[in-house]
Structure 1
Amino acid sequence: MSFEVPKIENYKFYLDVAFKKARTKSSQKKIGPSSDKLTKIKILEFTKIETINSVLNSKLRNIIISFPNFENLTEFYTELVRTTIDYKELKKSLGAMDWANKKTSEFSRQYKSKIRGSKTIEDIRKHSQQYYGRISSVLKQISKNLAFLEETRKIMREFPSIKDNIFTVAIAGFPNVGKSTLLSKITTAKPEIKSYAFTTKKLNMGYIKTETRKAQLIDTPGTLDRFNKMNNIEKIAYLAIKYCTNMIIYTFDLTEPYPLKDQKKLLKKLREFDKPIINYLSKTDILDKKTVSDFKKKTKVVTDLEELKKIVMEEMKKY
């Protein structure tokens, strides 16, 4: 599922676009030479009002339809939206776009009627200015809603595109233990790999394919924090493991960027999800053989990438 919503501007931007286009359309309007001055001015003002209404209607409708239908989301995305976004405010703000859309059309009809019945140029000018003021007021009233929707867009931009009905594996462990490297070695993914902690700003994903099957693997940042203390990317990872994952590859790192006791504590926490877990030991190329051997005696762990890939394939066949 895609949450790519186009950038939402402030209310002044939309007014400027609408008014500028109205002036352009009006200047290009061709009026027959037989029309008197009053009629000509009415036609020009009609053109401006119709253009402003058309532009604003289009912009506001596009904002509304650019957001997904939140009533038809999967359990994962429903929970994700409700935990990372103020859902009540989101519904209210989208409702405000619909309200503004209707009000601009209402004022367009109302002031075209007033201008149509005007007997003097002064009356036309007066009604036109009133119309511009009303429209500006409507857009100003939704300024906070526009700002909220833009912030929501930025949050949703970080949502992962996790496919439904496909075998899904979470690569879990603390930051900088080699998860992204592992993902790049056993899938076609090319994640950006940094050498310092907390580098995962989004969930990196990759795929393993056979002739008949496909598995998606997700690089998830681990944390020992309680859910309400997690940042957004950690919450996304938690919910992905809870709702989307069929299997977990837990990554140990004996170079210990994090103490081993904390790594074991995180593994224990992940077991609460009641998903099959395969332990993988990373960075064995920079560890001495005795360290690896001693660890393997105490912990059931895979060190060979081909063996790990084979285990994933076998689990995938059961799905």
Structure 2
Amino acid sequence: MVQYNFKKITVVPTGKDFVDIILSRTQRQTPTVVHKGYAIARIRQFYMRKVKYTQSNFHEKLSTIIEEFPRLGDIHPFYGDLLHVLYNKDHYKLALGQINTARNLIGKISKDYVKLLKYGDSLYRCKTLKVAALGRMCTVIKRVGPSLAYLEQIRQHMARLPSIDPNTRTILICGYPNVGKSSFMNKITRADVDVQPYAFTTKSLFVGHTDYKYLRYQVIDTPGILDRPFEDRNIIEMCSITALAHLRAAVLFFLDISGTCGYSIQQQAALFHSIKSLFMNKPLVIVCNKTDLQPFESLSEEDKKLVMEMKAEATKTVIGQGGEATNDEGVLLTMSTLTEEGVIAVKNTACERLLDQRVEQKMKSKKLNDCLNRFHVAMPKPRDQKDRPACIPQAVLEARAKNAEAAAEKEKRKLERDLENENGGAGVYSASLKKHYILAHDEWKEDIMPEILDGHNVADFIDPDILLRLEELEREEGLRQEQEEDDDFEMDGAELTPEQQADLAKIRKKKSLLIREHRIKKSTAESRPIVPRKFDKARIFTTQRMGRELSSLGINPKEAINRARSKSRGRKRERSLGENDGIDSMDVDDDNKKRRLMPRSRSRSKSRPPNEVIPGEGLKDSMQKSKAINLAKKSVNKRNKEARRGEADRTIPTTRPKHLMTGKRGIGKTQRR
């Protein structure tokens, strides 16, 4: 069970919020009405109660902050040093000391002003003393505002720290950056540590859990460490150093023998020798990782010598001041997290060595004798010389054989996944939903079920020869098109009269001109702006030209010109129709009724008003539509407001809280709150 749970620390409010909380609670939970006609003892009691209640609230809140934050001297040294590395314990203690000083100052202010209130001789003087007392208390809180903000930041960071139990069975993974520590952690635990092909991906301690021999082990992935002086190491590296120094754990020192991490074996060996003092009295395993890229046997003699020197150092276990060599089996292991070769062997070796060391330490402790006195191991004595080997009943053997057959049959059975892989994979294979139907005959399962539509079987109306008929129709259509192409001919003009030949030449010339103009326009269509007709400088499209062309063809152009002019009227407002035009506006049977009902300016377009009902909308009238539009606008107001609000925005649920704005209560009971 984890002893330290920093997630339960209460949120620390800012200085302004602190004042608002306390004064609001004082206003809500103490009487709020006093009159100058009251006896002076009652007036004094009223204001003394306000001051005492405010002081007790401040004291309670500040005491909660001081008590819930851990004291660095009372917690495990691992957490004490980790907090010092992350936050600087001097600043941390100073902030808590300022909070404690503020608590004492508020108590002193309350004591002084209560003493003065005992001698208040009027309501005005008592009220002034109360205001001064509360004001000085709030000033003290505002002065420690930076300390409160600093403690809140520390609380948020501590809540994100992993829950590490310093006293349980622990496996610690360390080494240079990018040597495969996080990949190994993801293989043996359910943790999901980010793995990237660059250094310092892991910036803090990560915790996972694994099981070995029915025991739970805590696995800690530490950030990478560089070989440099102690004072030059940054906060990320110091987290690893703190864990190595204070946790009783089996240490896995990872070596990247392929060199893809960016550091040579010589540099990694130098790091091992510089921090080997942290491995004292701890089971140590040197893990040569990434053997898929560089097998251990193919290393150079110089690199092998460095690794063997590290192995010799790892086999020494320091007891007291001297060192004693121990069994070197399992000290040096090879592994590849990519192919998972040797991963389980490394885990089992580390767990086994840690377990042996913990048992050995318990055997040397003084408590062992007290425990052994409670145990009695009974050893049975032989009653005769007859040999009695272990006997397994026949029923057990038969049950075991039957279970083995069932397991083999289960392995032979094809799963839906196997069928999917055999038949094209996901997206191609479609599982049959009829295979598990319980029918008299298995061949019935794939029968096509009739589809009934309006009481008729759809299959009765399907023509089985529809594809053949379609091919015949396409063949006939092709023959017909070929005949039409053969019938087309180009008029050569040999059998035409001279007049017809002249007309034909004009037509062909006109056609070629049109084709040429069209091609020119098409080639410059993208870059050519559309020119309004009023800016047509060439005067290509005019009614005079149209009249000349129609006259040359022998057509009277008058009607066409009048129709063109009537359609291209300007935006000038027409005169309203009335008695000046000789039209009786009261004559409902007049032929010009449609004309009278037309808008005054046809050339100016009119937009539809928003509340006009369009057929098919399902609304009764414009009033109902206006109401629906207003309701729709109001419904999205709250969503729009929520969408624009960020997590840092201050939320004021109500600007006029009822308990501050409604009628004041007397000095009576407050049970109804």
Provide the C-alpha distance between the structure 1 equivalents of 2:50 and 2:300, rounded to a whole number of angstroms. 77
Provide the C-alpha distance between the structure 2 equivalents of 1:30 and 1:155, rounded to a whole number of angstroms. 41
Deviation at 1:204, TM superposition (A): 0.7
In structure 1, the residue matched to 2:242 is 239
1:264 and 2:269 correspond: yes
Q: SS of 2:113's equivalent?
A: helix
Provide the C-alpha distance between the structure 2 equivalents of 1:226 and 1:49, rounded to a whole number of angstroms. 57
Provide the C-alpha distance between the structure 1 equivalents of 2:37 and 2:124, rounded to a whole number of angstroms. 18
Q: SS of 2:128's equivalent?
A: helix
In structure 1, the residue matched to 2:110 is 108
In structure 2, the residue matched to 1:137 is 139
1:1-319 superposed matches below 5 A: 1-4=4-7, 5-26=9-30, 29=31, 36=38, 45-153=47-155, 156-157=158-159, 160-211=162-213, 213-224=215-226, 225-253=228-256, 254=258, 256-261=260-265, 262-274=267-279, 275-284=282-291, 287=293, 291=295, 293-295=297-299, 298=304, 299=307, 300-303=332-335, 304-318=342-356, 319=358
Q: Deviations over 1:122-158 (max 9, x none)?
A: 2123212211221123223433433443454456456
Amino acid corresponding to residue 21 of structure 1 in structure 2: R
Structure with more contact order per residue of length (Cα contacts < 8 Å, sep ≥ 6)? 1
Amino acid corresponding to residue 54 of structure 1 in structure 2: S
Amino acid corresponding to residue 242 of structure 1 in structure 2: A
Single out whichever of 239-248 and 292-301 deviates more from structure 2: 292-301
Q: Deviations over 1:56-91 (max 9, x none)?
A: 112100111012233323333343344544434433
Q: SS of 2:333's equivalent?
A: coil
Deviation at 1:92, TM superposition (A): 3.7
Is the alpha carbon distance of 1:264 and 1:117 closer, same or farther for their aligned partners in structure 2, counting shifts above 3 Å? same
Amino acid corresponding to residue 333 of structure 2 in structure 1: V
Give % identity.
25
Q: Deviations over 1:216-264 (max 9, x none)?
A: 2211112223332222232121021122143221223336132224333
Provide the C-alpha distance between the structure 2 equivalents of 1:160 and 1:240, rounded to a whole number of angstroms. 12
Single out whichever of 120-129 and 142-151 deviates more from structure 2: 142-151
Deviation at 1:31, TM superposition (A): 6.4
Single out whichever of 261-270 and 53-62 deviates more from structure 2: 261-270
Is the alpha carbon distance of 1:291 and 1:259 closer, same or farther for their aligned partners in structure 2, counting shifts above 3 Å? same
Amino acid corresponding to residue 277 of structure 1 in structure 2: L
Q: SS of 2:16's equivalent?
A: helix
In structure 1, the residue matched to 2:591 is none
8 Å Cα contact 2:85/2:239 also seen in 1: no
Provide the C-alpha distance between the structure 2 equivalents of 1:195 and 1:24, rounded to a whole number of angstroms. 59
Is the alpha carbon distance of 1:230 and 1:13 closer, same or farther for their aligned partners in structure 2, counting shifts above 3 Å? farther
Q: SS of 1:249's equivalent?
A: strand
Q: How many residues align?
A: 314
8 Å Cα contact 1:84/1:155 also seen in 2: no
Amino acid corresponding to residue 20 of structure 1 in structure 2: S
Is the alpha carbon distance of 1:210 and 1:276 closer, same or farther for their aligned partners in structure 2, counting shifts above 3 Å? closer
Deviation at 1:108, TM superposition (A): 2.4
Provide the C-alpha distance between the structure 2 equivalents of 1:45 and 1:13, rounded to a whole number of angstroms. 24
Q: TM-score, normalised by structure 1?
A: 0.81
Provide the C-alpha distance between the structure 2 equivalents of 1:128 and 1:213, rounded to a whole number of angstroms. 63
Q: SS of 1:307's equivalent?
A: helix
In structure 1, the residue matched to 2:543 is none
Is the alpha carbon distance of 1:313 and 1:200 closer, same or farther for their aligned partners in structure 2, counting shifts above 3 Å? same
Provide the C-alpha distance between the structure 1 equivalents of 2:156 and 2:34, rounded to a whole number of angstroms. 50
Provide the C-alpha distance between the structure 1 equivalents of 2:178 and 2:57, rounded to a whole number of angstroms. 49
Q: SS of 1:198's equivalent?
A: coil
Single out whichever of 231-240 and 253-262 deviates more from structure 2: 253-262
Q: SS of 1:103's equivalent?
A: helix
Amino acid corresponding to residue 305 of structure 1 in structure 2: V
Provide the C-alpha distance between the structure 1 equivalents of 2:106 and 2:116, rounded to a whole number of angstroms. 15
Amino acid corresponding to residue 191 of structure 2 in structure 1: A
Amino acid corresponding to residue 77 of structure 1 in structure 2: Y
Q: Deviations over 1:162-185 (max 9, x none)?
A: 323333221112333321221121
Q: CA RMSD in A?
A: 3.3
Question: 1 or 2, which has the higher helix percentage?
Answer: 1
Amino acid corresponding to residue 225 of structure 2 in structure 1: T
Unpaired runs of 5+ residues, structure 2, are 308-331, 336-341, 359-673
Deviation at 1:19, TM superposition (A): 1.6
Unpaired runs of 5+ residues, structure 1, are none
Provide the C-alpha distance between the structure 1 equivalents of 2:249 and 2:88, rounded to a whole number of angstroms. 29
8 Å Cα contact 2:177/2:200 also seen in 1: yes
Q: TM-score, normalised by structure 2?
A: 0.42
